[in-house]
């Protein structure tokens, strides 16, 4: 039976490499869809947790893991030799930037090298990681062909960008349309058929390059508009005008306006990174990307602007930043999740420390600061109560978790630096609040 028929009959075995915020919900959806699925990851701790029928991601429940295992259709492993037992291999690994803001494809390269060791005839490989247009064809394909198998004849290759928004109550993997692109008609047919089984709609584009570019456009659109409101925030702050009030008023226009909101910087696995993937690739074609790069510069500078606003506010309270006590509220990159990837809170901690401040943090979803590629903070979340809050010279709201009692926080704080407009509904002690 050929691959397409296997997929249509749900007899194809699915392998998902990378069991993070993209890969884990993806493999669970395939299990729900009736496919025998294997999750692969190099992190043994993740595998052990899944074997115990537990989750390690806040918005994915223990019950969803238990249901997947009880179905008999799910297994998790670090044994990549089992790839040869799968028919469709989906790759959801990180694509970060290096210290020079250049694309780091090492995870894609290493994963492709691993797949090539076990690749067999008739398999479909789909890359989901955000990357520059051409990666699937120019990077993955040559590595996979080291197996001795021929692309388009012996194995098939496609790209389908992930569109995860962790903890979004409205959208999850199954009800977000999936873009799919491939440079081989049969590969595209098979990839579309595969995703058709688990998502609400599959959107076909003409090539893997077009699918890769689609993902970049989605996130560059957001980056540019966030940079716009961040710049407006700084300008209007100098004028004594509240950017949040202006956005609220502008949002009443029923056409031609879409609200974006300022913050302490960009976080997450896409928006702070994807624009730089396109600017890097554009250089190959002698094309400047001034607009995109300018947006990146503005967003990158936001943590420094927040720190300066804090320094000025402390100065008004006759407190020096050097030796001051600062409490950062929220180190996740957005509210009500447990994900610190590229979180601007981490940059805030670094800058405050460089200026001599003593910095603590509170995040109910992140009790211990994880080690990430850029930062190695040995920190634990401190308790958040009235007596503890009174110890600090300034409370910096970096992530506006819904569980925070902002009335209590403002009442007991000496100074509150609000980067998210989280204190908008607070009635009392507003003289303590500085928006940044």
Q: Hey, where are the domains in the chain?
A: 3-206, 222-435
Distances from the Cα of 12 to the Cα of 37, 128, 193, 288, angstroms: 9, 19, 11, 44
CATH architecture of the domain formed by 3-206: 3-Layer(aba) Sandwich (3.40)
pLDDT recorded at residue 365: 96
Contacts of residue 413, defined as CB under 8 A and 6 or more positions apart, other chains included, come to 389, 390, 392, 394, 395, 432
As a whole number of angstroms, the distance between CA 17 and CA 126 comes to 10
Q: How far apart are CA 193 and CA 341, in angstroms?
A: 32
What are the tokens at 218? 């989605």
* pLDDT on residue 198: 97
Size of the chain, expressed as the number of residues it contains: 436
What pLDDT is attached to residue 393? 98
Q: 356 φ, ψ to 5°?
A: 95, 10
Q: Which of 148, 227, 163 is nearest to 21 (CA)?
A: 163
> Which residues, given as ranges, of the chain have pLDDT below 50?
none
Q: Do domains 3-206 and 222-435 have the same CATH topology?
A: yes
| pLDDT value at residue 421 | 97
DSSP state of 145: G
| Domain at 222-435, CATH homologous superfamily | NAD(P)-binding Rossmann-like Domain (3.40.50.720)
Half-sphere CA count of 100, side-chain side, radius 13 A? 4
Tell the residue number behind the tokens 């100065």, with chain if given.
315
Mind telling me the catalytic residues? Answer: 270
pTM: 0.92
List for the chain the helix, strand, coil content (%; round to 5).
Answer: 40, 15, 45
């Amino acid at each position: 039976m050929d691959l397409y028929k296997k997929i249509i009959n749900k007899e194809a075995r699915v392998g998902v490499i990378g069991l993070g915020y993209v890969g884990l919900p993806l493999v669970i959806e395939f299990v729900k869809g009736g496919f025998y699925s294997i999750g692969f990851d190099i992190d043994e701790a993740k595998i052990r947790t899944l074997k115990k029928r537990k989750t390690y991601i806040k918005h994915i429940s223990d019950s969803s893991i238990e249901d997947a295992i009880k179905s008999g259709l799910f297994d998790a492993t670090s044994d990549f030799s089992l790839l040869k037992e799968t028919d469709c291999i989906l790759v959801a690994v990180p694509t970060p930037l290096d210290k020079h803001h250049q694309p780091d494809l090492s995870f894609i390269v290493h994963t492709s090298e691993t797949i090539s060791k076990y690749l067999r005839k008739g398999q479909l490989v789909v890359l989901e990681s955000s990357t520059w247009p051409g990666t699937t064809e120019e990077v993955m394909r040559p590595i996979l062909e080291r197996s001795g198998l021929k692309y388009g004849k012996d194995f098939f290759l496609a790209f389908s960008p992930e569109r995860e928004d962790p903890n979004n109550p409205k959208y999850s993997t199954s009800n977000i349309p999936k873009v799919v692109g491939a440079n081989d008609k049969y590969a595209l047919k098979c990839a579309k058929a595969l995703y058709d089984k688990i998502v609400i709609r599959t959107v076909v584009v003409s090539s893997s390059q077009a699918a890769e570019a689609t993902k970049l456009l989605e996130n560059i659109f957001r980056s540019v508009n966030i940079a716009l409101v961040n710049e407006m925030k700084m300008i209007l702050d100098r004028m004594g005008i509240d950017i949040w009030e202006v956005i609220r008023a502008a949002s009443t226009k029923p056409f031609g306006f879409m609200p974006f909101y300022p913050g302490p910087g960009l976080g997450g696995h896409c928006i702070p990174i994807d624009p730089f993937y396109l600017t890097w690739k554009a250089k190959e074609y002698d094309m400047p990307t001034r607009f995109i790069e300018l947006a990146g510069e503005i967003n990158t500078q936001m943590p420094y602007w927040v720190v300066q606003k804090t320094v000025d506010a402390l100065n008004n309270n006759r407190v020096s930043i050097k030796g001051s006590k600062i409490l950062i509220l929220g180190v996740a990159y957005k509210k009500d999740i447990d994900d610190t990837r590229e979180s601007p809170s981490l940059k805030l901690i670094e800058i405050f420390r460089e200026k001599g401040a003593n910095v603590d943090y509170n995040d109910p979803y992140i009790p211990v600061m994880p080690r990430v590629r850029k930062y190695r903070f040995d920190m634990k979340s401190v308790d958040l109560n009235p007596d503890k809050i009174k110890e600090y010279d300034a409370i910096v709201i970096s992530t506006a978790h819904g569980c925070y009692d902002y009335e209590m926080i403002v009442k007991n704080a000496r100074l509150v630096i609000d980067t998210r407009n989280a204190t908008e509904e607070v009635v009392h002690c507003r003289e303590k609040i500085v928006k940044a």
